[in-house]
Amino acid sequence: MAMFDLLPETTGFKLENALALAHAAELAYEDEARIRETVLDQWGCGHFHFFDRKGTQAFAMANERVVIVAFRGTERKNYLDWITNLQLDLTKGPLGGRVHAGFHKGLNAVWKDIDRVVKELRANHTRSLWFTGHSLGAALATLAVARLVELDQPVYGLYTFGSPRVGDRKFSRNFNFEYRPRMFRFVNNNDTVTRIPPRSDGYSHVGTFRYFTHQGDLVDDMGWWYQFLDRVGGRMDDFRQWGTDGLKDHAMTEYRRLLEKAASSRPA
């Protein structure tokens, strides 16, 4: 893949950007050496930084046109433990709202380093800035962008995959008011993680919704009733295959595969 098929000067939704950032979000699960090799040698970037503090990992990369920050999510084998042990406490966050205390703490561990590197890479203001992440990484990327938006710093785009809810309704309302047209939140059919923490505990999603049906089609939006019917279809299909649909649908490899399918099926 020629990374940076990403279109660096647009803030609207582009499938090319979604796919490029999906590759970055997937790469974030590799170890530092593998990420470095891919970014510098295969993707031809001139800048690479890896962040790893107190269990939070991310990397930043840049060429002459863009800076991308990708956060690592939760390892597949730990999905169930993460869901079971999820702490639902809310704490004061950016943009006047309250956010998940665990996500807030995770970002704090690496924030000073990321903020410093991003400022260095954007010192001449010629590179556009992008964030991405999957699962827990999606939540961390969302909070990072919220902090920059609060500081009136330009972020061209945020693409997340399988994101849990990050903050309360006030955070969601303020974030969407400031940034919704530049954030695209992908949900794959029965992805379990996208339904936690629950709305009943005050949490609310942010961003512009993009949905993969159980047949793998990418749609702009669906009413709640149509989502419900589609998810029932997904569960029935998976039941016949003896699988765990909600966790399979959460895999970052599946999000990337579905975006590749969407890109390949576009009219020429």
**Does residue 3 belong to any structural domain of this protein?**
no
Give the integer Cα–Cα distance in Å for 148 and 86: 26
The verdict on whether 135 is a catalytic residue reads yes
**Does residue 2 belong to any structural domain of this protein?**
no
Q: How far is CA 205 from the centre of its chain?
A: 12
Q: Is the CB of residue 21 less than 8 Å from the CB of residue 1?
A: no
According to DSSP, residue 42 is labeled I
Identify the CATH number of the domain in which residue 239 sits: 3.40.50.1820
**Does residue 182 belong to any structural domain of this protein?**
yes
Which residue range forms the structural domain that includes residue 77? 15-264
Residuewise pLDDT in 10s, the chain (268 residues)? 445 578 999 999 999 999 999 999 999 999 999 999 999 999 999 999 999 998 899 999 999 999 999 999 976 665 554 554 466 789 999 999 999 998 999 999 999 999 999 999 998 778 999 999 999 999 999 999 999 999 999 999 999 999 999 999 999 999 999 999 999 999 999 898 898 888 888 999 999 999 999 888 998 866 755 666 666 655 544 444 434 566 789 999 999 999 999 998 876 5
The one catalytic residue among 135, 163, 172, 204: 135
User: What digits encode the pLDDT tens for the residues 61-118?
Assistant: 999 999 999 999 976 665 554 554 466 789 999 999 999 998 999 999 999 999 999 9
According to DSSP, residue 101 is labeled H
- Alpha carbon distances (Å) from 162 to 59, 68, 138, 146, 195: 19, 19, 7, 18, 9
- Alpha carbon distances (Å) from 19 to 153, 253, 256: 24, 12, 7
Give the integer Cα–Cα distance in Å for 113 and 50: 10
**Does residue 6 belong to any structural domain of this protein?**
no
What are 211's strand-pairing partners?
187, 219
| Rounded (to 5) percent helix, strand, coil in the chain | 45, 20, 30
**Does residue 116 belong to any structural domain of this protein?**
yes
The one catalytic residue among 191, 230, 238, 249: 191
**Does residue 203 belong to any structural domain of this protein?**
yes
- What phi and psi, each to the nearest 5 degrees, are found at residue 188? -100, 100
**In the chain, at which residue ranges do the beta strands (DSSP E only) sit?**
47-53, 56-62, 66-71, 90-92, 98-100, 128-134, 157-161, 167-168, 183-188, 203-204, 208-212, 218-219
Q: Classify 90 as helix, strand or coil.
A: strand
Per the structure, how many domains does the chain have?
1
**Does residue 47 belong to any structural domain of this protein?**
yes
Q: Is the CB of residue 111 less than 8 Å from the CB of residue 93?
A: no
**Does residue 96 belong to any structural domain of this protein?**
yes
CA neighbours within 13 Å on the CB side: how many for 136? 26
Q: Is the CB of residue 39 less than 8 Å from the CB of residue 50?
A: no
